[in-house]
Structure 1
Amino acid sequence: MQIPIFTVDAFTSWSFSGNPAAVCLLENDLNEDLHQKIATEMNLSETAFVRKLHSMDDFTKSSCFGLRWFTPTNEVSLCGHATLAAAAVLFRIQKNTNSVLTFVTLSGELKARQAEDHIVLDLPLYVTYPQVFQEVKELIKAAVGDMVVQDLRYSPDTKKLLVRLSDAYERSVLEKLQVRAQDFLSAEKTGKVEGLILTLKGGSSGKHEGYDFYSRYFGPWNGVLEDPVTGSAHAVLGSYWSEQLGKKEMLAFQCSRRGGELKISLRNDGRVDIAGQIAIVLKGSLTF
């Protein structure tokens, strides 16, 4: 059996930066256990499976497809960068003729459209709520040591904990922070956290002027120690920073080693548009 497979670097225009995702195009249903086996074999933070919903569907002409995402250890309910990668394969490689694609997912229907040199994702916007420090103090200690935490929020819909560092810190502090994400598994005592976001307000001067906020994201609970650029985390960050900054249009940078840029636009319908560029780095076939 052969399956077309691609590797796409998302939220970047340069190869070997941004966040890589594998994308498989499924002509027919795949045995359930093979999804996880393939994702484990690819060993990227996410592998996306795009499937036809009807036998007569066509990757070039149809506008609606099924989409699932798997980390090396489990299936997840939402992944932004792998959705961006899936849309890129359909738009750029399959030359899909539709202006908007719809993906049927565990998070409902998600849409993707082309806008000049970006692909724009229509994602849910997730509200955050104040989090009591004492409940997660061991996890915070494991993540940032004695650094000053300015705000602490929790997103129950995504099970992500948002840790805002003091505005006194520069971007370089976040970039240089040494994090042992594997330690989070034993430090997290509440049982409700499945992802940790570190974030910092953007600077108004210097060489990085123009970014509204910065972040890093860690997900050892899903087999991903640090994710290079995380669309789903920005569906949380977008909600938080819009409230803090009083803005609906924002530019964000995720400060992983690979790094990536995201354009964020809050919509009036309670959702968020997250736009990014892509670089296609691999085309091939899985054979088994």
Structure 2
Amino acid sequence: MMEIPLFTVDAFARSCFDGNPAAVCLLEKALPEELYQNIAAEMNVSATAFIMKLSSTDDFSSGATFSLRWFTPKHEIDLCGHATLASAAVLFYHRENTNTEVVFKTLSGELRVRQRGESLVMDFPLSKPEVQDQSEYKDILKAAVGDMDIKEVCLSETSKKLLVRLTDTCDRSAFRSMKPVAEDLLRHEDGRKFQGIIVTMKGESVPLVKYDFVSRYFAPWHGVFEDPVCGSAHTVLAAYWSEKLRKKKMLAHQCSKRGGELELEVKDESRVDIAGQAVVIFQGTLKL
């Protein structure tokens, strides 16, 4: 029997049941390829992360570099922010890793995560979107946001995400309560051009906090209708809003039912720091 340490972590959350839940598995060695997807489907959260030692002499408490892969319930993905944050939380908070920074080798290159007070800071690639002709996306925009007024549509070809910016005068309660139908989105786009829709607005002030921008993210192409808090979507949002607001440091809020807060700092034309908190809420053993 194979036993795999398994954790559930609420990422981009200060307390349990907020933010975005991810499952995290610690692997001594690679699994049979089909097993990764079977485990992710069984966990049935937006992403399951697999942290693997790079050599048998490594240790999760003292090692500084690991392999990291992410799977949605449907397939493997190239980049996942909240599951990376969750993975670092398991290493730092549960395994008490002695390093101030860990490095993950992934399909998106080397990703570094460091501790900063109560937060974890991820060094991620920046994904600049390009402005699109709205008429080209007329049907899916209608399916996604209904009759809400659209200011601009952009596409990030590297991350395969469509960004839809609503006008500043749009009804914010309608933005928070909109419920596109997954089947309608899938009918208008088969995932070849993009695999996720970001809907965003300029920021708002809430008690004690002023957000530079807010967003929601829908990805039925990955088997995840609405992602509660999506780190990879913020690689696109950070690039977009940094240019529009002429700011390098921004505070963002993803307005899903669970919700989550992200601190962003655009470092240069290619990298962005994404910071957030995480809470490990479950520890167990997967027996196979």
TM-score over 0.5 for the pair = yes
Aligned partner of residue 175 in structure 2, secondary structure:
helix
Report sequence identity in percent.
Answer: 54
Matches within 5 A, 1:153-192: 153-188=154-189, 191-192=192-193
User: How many equivalent pairs are there?
Assistant: 287
Structure 2 partner of 1:229: 229
Task: Confirm whether residue 93 of structure 1 aligns to residue 94 of structure 2.
Answer: yes
State the 1:245 CA deviation.
Answer: 0.3
Instruction: Letter of the 1:8 partner, please give it.
Output: V
Matches within 5 A, 1:71-110: 71-110=72-111
- Where does the alignment leave 5 or more consecutive residues of structure 1 unmatched? none
State the 1:145 CA deviation.
Answer: 1.0
Q: Summarize deviations over 1:57-94 as a string: whole Å, max 9, x none.
A: 11011100000000001000000000000000000000
Structure 1 partner of 2:261: 261
Looking at structure 1, the residues matched to 79 and 24 of structure 2 have their Cα atoms a distance apart, in angstroms, of 15
Looking at structure 1, the residues matched to 74 and 269 of structure 2 have their Cα atoms a distance apart, in angstroms, of 34
Matches within 5 A, 1:1-288: 1-188=2-189, 191-203=192-204, 205=205, 207=207, 209-268=209-268, 270-288=270-288
State the 1:170 CA deviation.
Answer: 4.6
TM-score normalised by the chain length of structure 1: 0.97
Looking at structure 2, the residues matched to 91 and 183 of structure 1 have their Cα atoms a distance apart, in angstroms, of 41
Task: Note if contact 1:136-1:189 (Cα within 8 Å) is conserved in structure 2.
Answer: no
TM-score normalised by the chain length of structure 2: 0.97
Aligned partner of residue 279 in structure 1, secondary structure:
strand
Looking at structure 2, the residues matched to 189 and 227 of structure 1 have their Cα atoms a distance apart, in angstroms, of 19
State the 1:154 CA deviation.
Answer: 0.3
Instruction: Letter of the 2:283 partner, please give it.
Output: K
Task: Note if contact 1:15-1:281 (Cα within 8 Å) is conserved in structure 2.
Answer: yes
Task: Note if contact 1:135-1:190 (Cα within 8 Å) is conserved in structure 2.
Answer: no
Check 1:208–1:230 CA distance in 2 against 1; reply closer, same or farther (3 A cut): farther
Looking at structure 1, the residues matched to 241 and 157 of structure 2 have their Cα atoms a distance apart, in angstroms, of 17
State the 1:183 CA deviation.
Answer: 1.6
- Where does the alignment leave 5 or more consecutive residues of structure 2 unmatched? none
State the 1:171 CA deviation.
Answer: 3.5
Looking at structure 1, the residues matched to 170 and 15 of structure 2 have their Cα atoms a distance apart, in angstroms, of 28
Check 1:209–1:166 CA distance in 2 against 1; reply closer, same or farther (3 A cut): farther
Looking at structure 2, the residues matched to 244 and 218 of structure 1 have their Cα atoms a distance apart, in angstroms, of 23
State the 1:209 CA deviation.
Answer: 4.7
Cα RMSD, aligned residues only: 1.3
Aligned partner of residue 231 in structure 1, secondary structure:
coil
State the 1:206 CA deviation.
Answer: 5.2
Q: Summarize deviations over 1:6-51 as a string: whole Å, max 9, x none.
A: 0000001110110000000001211111000000000000000000
Looking at structure 1, the residues matched to 196 and 144 of structure 2 have their Cα atoms a distance apart, in angstroms, of 12
Q: Summarize deviations over 1:132-170 as a string: whole Å, max 9, x none.
A: 112211110000111100011000101100000110025
Q: Summarize deviations over 1:104-155 as a string: whole Å, max 9, x none.
A: 0000000000000000000000111011112211110000111100011000
Looking at structure 2, the residues matched to 160 and 72 of structure 1 have their Cα atoms a distance apart, in angstroms, of 19
Task: Note if contact 1:50-1:86 (Cα within 8 Å) is conserved in structure 2.
Answer: yes
Task: Note if contact 2:191-2:221 (Cα within 8 Å) is conserved in structure 1.
Answer: no
Check 1:170–1:277 CA distance in 2 against 1; reply closer, same or farther (3 A cut): farther
